[in-house]
């Protein structure tokens, strides 16, 4: 034997061909794969963009792990289960399919609502790591750890979208780039529990902060096909700050295109989360410039985050989503660390205990779920609960972006900023 390492192509994951070192590694190639169940949709009317990002980010991690020799001498395989994330019954069926496949762990971007699927998973109790930024899921873990101790919310909860809002406003005003024309805030809120919780927490934080006032709250109902009535009301109130508390990218793109044709002059417009999904920029083009959004989990623009962004874009050209691409990438590496520490992926109880006890640093920041909620700690702290931290390296940052020149640029918090807020096209 000369010592030369040749390479051989094997097919793993979701059909992607990957190269693996071949040094008499027939045992690796023939060994039973470790199975990562990924309930994620590519067909549902809502959620396919985020879920597709999650599948792609997972694929990048799976291929890297296998190229490096796998986990405990075994290849890792992604098992994708298509389902409707807005349907409780479909969500339950997706988890049941993972159990039938005897997966070693589950990685899910989100389900709305999350509890029905969690109930099904409790019959199996493999690690269930999800990104449903929904406090009701982590409250269930705290209330019944015997039933849900295998469930981890690897983001902070949606309550932080509301609680952090006044901090961002203060930062935008103090750092320059935005001078509020008045101190009024107009909230446009959708009716699902997720957006209602965000609105409630925003109102709570705004009242506590005392620097702005809620001028009006306008209700909308999914699906929103025409924003003309809402825009007329926005112009009537003429608030300096507008919150569109909705999360569906295609509908927010429709809002953005209608708004720029007849805007509320000099108002700062925040579109909650939806613009993070790649279809928003694809649908809006230049009309998306100037709008702001935030996420409680997303790929940082630091050295680690930029390296991931570069390789992801090389693998998947086009507009890159900044949220579930990184989330999907981080989860397999988190599990890899746990599986290797425990020595056997089938020791579910030990693996779950290791995940809880050991923080993990990924491309989306610092994951620390060692608390009764098993929810990732949130940065920055604003004093609303014990799951917030005052140091970036102790929690996962919620960051705010503004779309500038058809690109997402981080404008808050200071530790992650790429640039400051700039005038929107409808500002004089």
Compute the Cα dihedral for 283, 289, 292, 296 and give only its sign.
positive
Tokens 């996420």 belong to residue: 295
Indicate yes or no: pTM above 0.85.
yes
pLDDT, average across residues 345-351: 98
CA distances to 84, 92, 147, 258, 377 from 138, in Å: 22, 18, 12, 37, 12
Q: Note the pLDDT of residue 26.
A: 54
pLDDT, average across residues 142-154: 98
pLDDT in tens, 257-275: 999 999 999 999 999 999 9
> pLDDT > 90: what percent of the chain?
91
pLDDT in tens, 108-118: 999 999 999 99
Give helix 348-357 / helix 324-342 axis angle, nearest 10°. Answer: 120
Give the C-alpha separation, 81 to 38, whole Å: 6
pLDDT, average across residues 395-406: 98
Q: Note the pLDDT of residue 18.
A: 33
User: What are the residues facing 110 on neighbouring strands?
Assistant: none
Could you tell me if 412 and 400 are in contact, meaning their C-beta atoms sit under 8 angstroms apart?
A: yes
pLDDT in tens, 26-62: 566 568 999 999 999 999 988 999 999 999 999 999 9
Q: Note the pLDDT of residue 28.
A: 63
- Which has the closest alpha carbon to 413: 295, 261, 312, 330? 295
Helical spans, DSSP H, in 149-212: 159-163, 165-174, 193-209
- Which has the closest alpha carbon to 152: 394, 371, 392? 371
Q: Note the pLDDT of residue 27.
A: 61
pLDDT in tens, 167-224: 999 999 999 889 999 999 999 999 999 999 999 999 999 999 999 999 999 999 999 9
Q: Note the pLDDT of residue 4.
A: 28
Q: Is the peptide bond before 114 cis (omega within 30 degrees of 0)?
A: no
Q: Note the pLDDT of residue 177.
A: 87
Q: Note the pLDDT of residue 30.
A: 61
Please, what are the domains in the chain?
A: 6-157+301-379 (3.40.50.2300), 160-295+398-416 (3.40.50.2300)
What tokens appear for 360 in the block?
């993990």
pLDDT, average across residues 289-315: 98
Q: What is the DSSP letter of 74?
A: B
What tokens appear for 109 in the block?
């971007």
Give the C-alpha separation, 258 to 233, whole Å: 14
Give the C-alpha separation, 112 to 124, whole Å: 21
User: What are the residues facing 360 on neighbouring strands?
Assistant: 367
**Which strand (E) or helix (H) includes residue 213?**
strand 213-219
Tokens 């096209």 belong to residue: 425
Q: Note the pLDDT of residue 304.
A: 98
Residue 24 pLDDT exceeds 50 = no
SS3 at position 385: coil
Based on DSSP, count helices (H) and strands (E) in the chain, helices before strands.
15, 18
């Amino acid at each position: 034997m000369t010592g030369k390492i040749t390479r051989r192509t094997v097919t793993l994951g979701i059909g992607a061909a990957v190269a693996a070192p071949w040094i008499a590694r027939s045992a690796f190639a023939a060994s039973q794969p470790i199975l990562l169940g990924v309930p994620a949709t590519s067909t549902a009317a809502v959620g396919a963009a985020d879920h597709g990002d999650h599948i792609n980010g997972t694929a990048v991690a799976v291929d890297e792990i296998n190229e490096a020799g796998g986990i405990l001498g075994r290849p890792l395989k992604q098992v994708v289960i298509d389902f409707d994330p807005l349907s409780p019954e479909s969500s339950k069926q997706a988890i049941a399919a993972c159990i039938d496949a005897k997966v070693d762990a589950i990685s899910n971007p989100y389900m709305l609502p999350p509890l029905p699927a969690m109930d099904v998973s409790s019959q199996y109790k493999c690690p269930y790591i999800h990104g449903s930024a929904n406090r009701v899921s982590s409250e269930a873990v705290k209330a019944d750890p015997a039933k849900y101790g295998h469930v981890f919310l690897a983001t902070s909860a949606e309550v932080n979208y509301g609680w952090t809002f006044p901090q961002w406003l203060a930062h935008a005003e103090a750092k320059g780039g935005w001078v509020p024309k008045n101190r009024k805030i107009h909230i446009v809120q959708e009716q699902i529990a997720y957006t209602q919780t965000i609105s409630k927490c925003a109102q709570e934080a705004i009242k506590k902060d005392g620097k702005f006032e809620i001028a009006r709250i306008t209700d909308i109902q999914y699906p929103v096909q025409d924003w003309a009535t809402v825009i007329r009301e926005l112009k009537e109130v003429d608030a300096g700050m507008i919150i569109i508390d909705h999360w569906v990218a295609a509908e927010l793109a429709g809002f953005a295109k209608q708004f720029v044709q007849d805007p509320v002059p000099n108002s700062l417009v925040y579109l909650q989360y939806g613009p993070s999904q790649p279809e928003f920029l694809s649908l809006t083009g230049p009309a998306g410039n100037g709008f702001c959004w935030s996420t409680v989990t997303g790929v940082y623009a630091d050295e680690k985050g930029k390296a991931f962004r570069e390789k992801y874009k090389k693998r998947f050209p086009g507009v890159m989503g900044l949220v579930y691409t990184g989330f999907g990438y981080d989860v397999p590496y988190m599990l890899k660390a746990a599986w290797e520490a425990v020595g056997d992926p089938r020791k579910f109880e030990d693996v779950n205990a290791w995940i809880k006890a050991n923080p993990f640093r990924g491309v989306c920041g610092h994951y620390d779920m060692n608390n009764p909620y098993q929810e990732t700690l949130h940065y920055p702290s604003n004093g609303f609960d014990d799951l917030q931290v005052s140091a970036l390296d102790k929690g996962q940052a919620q960051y705010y972006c503004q779309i500038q020149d058809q690109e997402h640029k981080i404008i808050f918090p200071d530790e992650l900023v790429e640039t400051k807020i700039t005038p929107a096209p409808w500002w004089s």
